Every structure is written in structure tokens, then in C-alpha cells.
Amino acid sequence: MQLGMIGLGRMGRDMVRRLMDKGHQCVVHDSRAQAVDELRGQGATGAASLQEFVAALETPRAIWLMVPAAVVDGVLQSLLPLLAAGDIVIDGGNSYYRDDIRRAEELRKQGLHYVDAGTSGGVFGYERGYCMMVGGEPETVQRLAPIFAALAPGDAAVAPSPGREGHATTAEQGYLHCGPHGAGHFVKMVHNGIEYGMMAAYAEGFNILRHANAGKQARQDDAETTPLRDPQFYQYDFDLPEIAEVWRRGSVISSWLLDLTARALDEDPVLERYSGNVSDSGEGRWTVMAAIDTAVPAPVLSSALYERFSSRHMGDFAGKVLSAMRQQFGGHVERKS
């Protein structure tokens, strides 16, 4: 099947390569000519402009956008006038699902079809396959089945859950039509919310292990700082890379994220190349907002998000307020770190 791909960053490029490996034909476009050239060299039809891109696609066209969420509307504004009724536009990036609902309606008025395809897999997707959570009209999603099947890991990758015999679905290949417009990105949004929570669980755990030798450090006794009551219980110098590695085998917390953590710790046991300022890219925030809208308690997912905010010093003013209060009521002079 033929697919047009706009956006040849890390994700878009590798998806095109995986599709071509599986025998699909790709037309590609990116504002960076070099990115287009690279894939042209690997068999794709490169397009220097959107006009050229659209012209190279057979109708009804299937066009996949793999661009930052913040620029999707801009791309659509340029792209839509060039399309014809029946064409399909897939947003595979990290759009907010509410934007999908709005865009689907806008495209529908023009006779176009919109599909939101939340895509997980990261830089390993080319080899491992991508997990896709899809929203849109059933028949449109169905038309794209060959594409999703090629991008997904496939049913040989992971055995189905025991008991699923007799009701096989595309979930077993690694993609799922989750519901109407926005459903794909909604599920992807929650997926990323969970991801933040899991990552934070590991991060906090390793941080505790790292400080398990706190009893070896001298502490001052004064009214400002509580002494460690039982320093004899915090005398462990743990080997974090080895612990991450052992947990990968037979433990309840084995996971792909742990595999990656073990790799990172093995390369750099104290992670000195990082400063610890952690970005967040939208889905974690939207997940928490969805929880709040629907009155669902989500303290773990929220805490994980806030740790990222704090890592970027966004809590500093709150700390100043606390120090100011302490100064006021107790005459406590702030200790410089």
C-alpha cells in the first residue's frame, strides 16, 4: 500500500523505513531537504514541497503526519487545500485528543477523513515495531490496516495473554482501533501518564538506594536539622547498575523501561552526564486534567508530573515562601544549600 509521510524526524524516518522493509511504498516530505534525501536514497519517493508530495500520491490518498503537536494545525492549513474528497489524514504525533475531535470535524466538512494514531515505541520502534492506539471512523481505520499491521510488532512478537484463544483481535498484533475521533490519542495520553508514573517509581527507588549510605555522612546537631536517628541502618553502598540488571530477571518489576534504565546505569553509573532537569511533553499534563475533570483520583500520576516541574525549579518560589514563614514565626535563618 502507498503512504505519504510528512515529518521525517526520529520517529517519522524510522516508520518509513519499517514500512518500506515490509514492502509498502512511501512518499516523504520534510522541510529539511537532507531528511528527504536520506530516505530517497533508501527507496522512498522524496517530495521537496507539499504540492509535489500531494501530486505523488494516488487517490484516495493516505497521509501520515509525524510532526510536533504544536505545528500540526499549521501543516494542515497548508495541506488541506491540496487534498481531494476521500483522502485520509493520520496524525501520528502527540496531539491533544480534543484537537483531534475539532480537526476531524473540519476535515469532514471537506469530505476528508481524519485518523488519530497515538504511537509508542521511541527510537527502538524500527526494529521492535510500534504500538498504535487509533481513533476514527471504523471503515477508514480498516482501510489503513495494512499500514498499521506493518508498523506494529506483529503477533509473533509477544504471545497473547492465556485465555484469549478464540477471540483474536488486532491488539495481538500491536494496534487497536480504540473508538471514535480522539480515542486513539486519549488512550495514548493515558499511556504516557502511566509511563510518567512508572518512570518516577523507578527513579524514586533508585534515589533511595543511592542514599542508603546516608549514615556514613557526618551530621550536625542543631535545631534546624533533624539528625538521622539510626545511622547504623544506612551504611549501604549499593551498586545501582547491578541492581537494575538483576531486577530484569524474574522480578515483579521487570519491564522494558527497566531494561533501558539498566543500560543507562551500566553506561554511566552515577549518571553524571545528566543535570536532572526533566522535560514533559503534554500527555502527562492532559492525563491529570482528564482525571480531575472526571473526579478520578490520580495522585501517583500527578506526583510524577510535579517531580518533573520541580526538577526544572518551578517550585522555587514556593520554597521561598516557606523559608519566609519560618523566618517570621521561628526566627529560623535559611540554611544555604
Q: Count residues binding a second copy (CB under 8 A).
A: 176
Q: Which is the catalytic residue, given 105, 109, 127, 188?
A: 188
Helices (H), 160-248: 183-210, 240-247
What is the footprint of a second copy within residues 151-180 (CB under 8 A)? 152-153, 157-158, 160-164, 169-176, 178-180
**From the CB of 239, what's the least distance to a second copy, in Å?**
8
> Which residues in the 311-330 window bind a second copy by CB under 8 A?
311-330
Q: Which is nearer to a second copy, 139 or 316 (CB)?
A: 316
Distance CA 74, CA 336 (A): 47
Q: Would you state the cell numbers that stand for residue 281, as one nine-digit string?
A: 511533553
Catalytic, 334? Answer no
**Considering only 24-32, 38-46, 78-86, 237-245, which stretch makes contact with a second copy by CB under 8 A?**
237-245
Q: Are 240 and 213 in contact (CB under 8 A)?
A: no
- 146 counts as binding a second copy under rule CB under 8 A: no
Give φ, ψ of 245 to 5 degrees.
-65, -40
Measured from the CB atom, the residue of 49 and 124 that comes closer to a second copy is 124
Q: Choose between 2 and 155: whose C-beta lies nearer to a second copy.
A: 155
Among 47, 129, 140, 147, binds a second copy (CB under 8 A): 129
Distances (CA, A) of 34 to 8, 46, 48, 78, 93: 10, 10, 10, 21, 21
Residue the block writes with cell 480515542: 183
**Site pattern 47..76 for a second copy (x: CB under 8 A):** ---------------------xxxx-----
Q: Considering only residues 5 through 24, tell me which ones interact with a second copy, judged by CB under 8 A.
A: 9-10
Give the separation between CA 126 and CA 269, rounded to whole angstroms: 28
Cis status, amide bond into 60, omega within 30 of 0: yes
- Minimum CB separation of residue 213 from a second copy in Å reads 9
Span between the terminal Cα atoms of the chain, in Å: 60
For β-strands 131-135 and 113-120, DSSP reports them as antiparallel
Using DSSP's 3-state secondary structure scheme, residue 26 falls into strand
Taking the complex as a whole, how short is the minimal distance between the CB of residue 327 and a second copy, in angstroms? Answer: 7
Report the C-alpha gap between 129 and 37 in whole angstroms: 24
Indicate the residue among 58 and 124 with the shorter CB distance to a second copy: 124
188 carries an active-site annotation:
yes
Q: According to CB under 8 A, which residues from 272 to 291 bind a second copy?
A: 274-282, 285, 287-291
Residue 111: name the closest of 138, 88, 144 by CA.
88
Among 49, 91, 101, 139, binds a second copy (CB under 8 A): 101
The residues annotated as belonging to the active site are 188, 195
